[in-house]
Amino acid sequence: MQYVPCLSTGEETPQKGVETRRCHTSRRANGHPDMASDKDGGTDGKPFQHNTGNMGALGAVRVGSRSLPLYPVFIVSLGLLNGILIIIAVVIGIYCANVSDISNLDRATTEAVIIEVEQLRIMHAHAIEAQKETEQTLKKEIKKRQQLEILLERNKTLSDVLQKQFETLQLEKATLQADTSDIYHSCEKCLSEWFLLNTTCYFHGKAASSPLKNWHDSRADCIRRGGDLTVIDSLEEQINLFEYLPKVEPNIHTWNKPGIWIGLTEFQTEGQWDWINNVTVTARYWMSGEPNNYGPGGEQCGAIKNGKIPLQTWFDGKCDLPQEWLCEMQPN
């Protein structure tokens, strides 16, 4: 019978197909080897032998016809596993290092973003505060502007009032100067209440000083004062009287205001106008549409009413119509 060594005891183990030799293990109890017992529990004084069966498979690996011990393979496997674990550990370390770098980078980026956000928040707060201050300043400026506008409006109103007063004073000054000039020029030349134009003294009978009169009463008053109703026998005299006498704004109410009687009549011949000195009118300064001999009994007495056109001031009227009158006389 061919034997191979037994792994557990150093004894040989029979090959396949050969009778198996029992491997046994001696145990010592109280300094004596264990005794083998059979199924009946008896002992024969020999060391106990037990059939290990496949115990050899646990301690060796068969390769072909050879059986190799298991522990070298186990050691190699452990070495390989250890190498794999080392590689894995290295890979994990590298990965963790990369992750750590990325984490550090992300942390730095996050901190930078946080700092920038904080700076933006501070800038935004400052901007809001500046905006509020600007709004308050703008409101104050708007209020000041409104006050200035009110003040300017008041000043403008006051200026307009002063301008009107100034114009009134200028007019009064011009009037006083004209009156002074008239008085100076007419001094000792015209009677009291008469005024001098060129070389003629005139008296204007107005409602403010005496009642209105018809044509005949007007002439009688002029004669009583030493003169007669005015005879306009030149263009120069027409212009002078137009400039001196008050004017009436032409409108629908123009004819409701009184005119001024002059020494012009149609008594002698119908359609022929003569002056009171028996001189027939040659230069005519009638208003548009005049004379028209309007109404029952006609209109036979002449008068003037100044409008806007210096050469259109004459009109005919009923002789009994009350109006103002204009007398003339030669100066002293």
31-76, pLDDT tens digit by residue? 444 433 344 444 444 444 444 444 444 466 565 666 667 667 778 7
What is the overall mean pLDDT for the chain? Answer: 78
Is the pLDDT at 214 greater than 60, yes or no? yes
Beta strands in 38-126 (DSSP E): 43-47, 60-63, 66-69
Of 88-92, 132-136, 160-164, 312-316, the poorest mean pLDDT is in 88-92
* Tokens standing for residue 84: 């794999």
Q: Which two tokens stand for residue 108?
A: 């730095």
Of 14-23, 159-168, 169-178, 273-282, which gets the smallest average pLDDT?
14-23
Q: How far is Cα 284 from Cα 273, in angstroms, rounded to an integer?
A: 10
What local confidence, expressed as pLDDT, does residue 252 receive? 57
Distances (CA, A) of 296 to 118, 267, 300, 318: 106, 16, 12, 10
d(C-alpha 246, C-alpha 260), whole Å: 10
Confidence of residue 263 (pLDDT cuts 50, 70, 90): very high
In-domain check, residue 140 = no
Give the end of a domain, one of 64, 85, 116: 64
pTM: 0.46
Is 70 part of a structural domain of the chain?
no
Distances (CA, A) of 175 to 1, 125, 239, 244, 245: 174, 73, 19, 11, 13
Q: Which two tokens stand for residue 307?
A: 């409008």
- Candidates 306, 296, 309, 305; CA nearest to 323 is 305
pLDDT band per the 50, 70, 90 thresholds, residue 185 = low
- For residue 149, is it within any domain? no
Whole-number Å distance between alpha carbons of 77 and 70? 11
Q: Mean of the pLDDT values across residues 252-262?
A: 80
Residue 260 domain-assigned?
Answer: yes
Cβ of 264: how many Cβ atoms within 10 Å? Answer: 23
* Of the residues 15, 34, 64, the one at which a domain ends: 64
d(CA 73, CA 61): 9
Q: What CATH number is associated with residue 243?
A: 3.10.100.10
Give domain status of residue 144, yes or no: no
Give how many domains the chain has, as a whole number.
Answer: 2
What Rg, from alpha-carbon coordinates, does the chain have? 75
Picking from 64, 88, 108, the residue at the C-terminal end of a domain is 64
Give the mean model confidence (pLDDT) for residues 127-132.
92
127 alpha-carbon distance from chain centroid:
21
pLDDT, residue 256, reads 75
Write the CB contacts of 280 (distance below 8 Å, at least 6 apart in sequence).
272, 273, 274
Q: Reduced to 3 states, what is the DSSP secondary structure of residue 262?
A: strand
Whether residue 14 lies inside any domain: the answer is: yes
Residue 10: domain span: 3-64
Q: Is 80 exceeded by the pLDDT of residue 17?
A: no
- Which pLDDT belongs to residue 216? 97
Q: Bridge-partner residues for 62, per DSSP?
A: 67
CB 304 within 8 A of CB 246: no
| Proportion of the chain above pLDDT 70, given as a percent | 69
| Structural domain contains residue 71 | no
Higher-confidence position of 261 and 55? 261
> Measured between alpha carbons, how far is 44 from 222 in angstroms, rounded to an integer?
200
Give the strand pairing for 60-63 and 66-69.
antiparallel
Query: Helix, strand or coil for residue 175?
Result: helix
Domain-located, residue 247: yes
Q: Per-residue confidence at 25, pLDDT binned at 50, 70, 90? A: very low
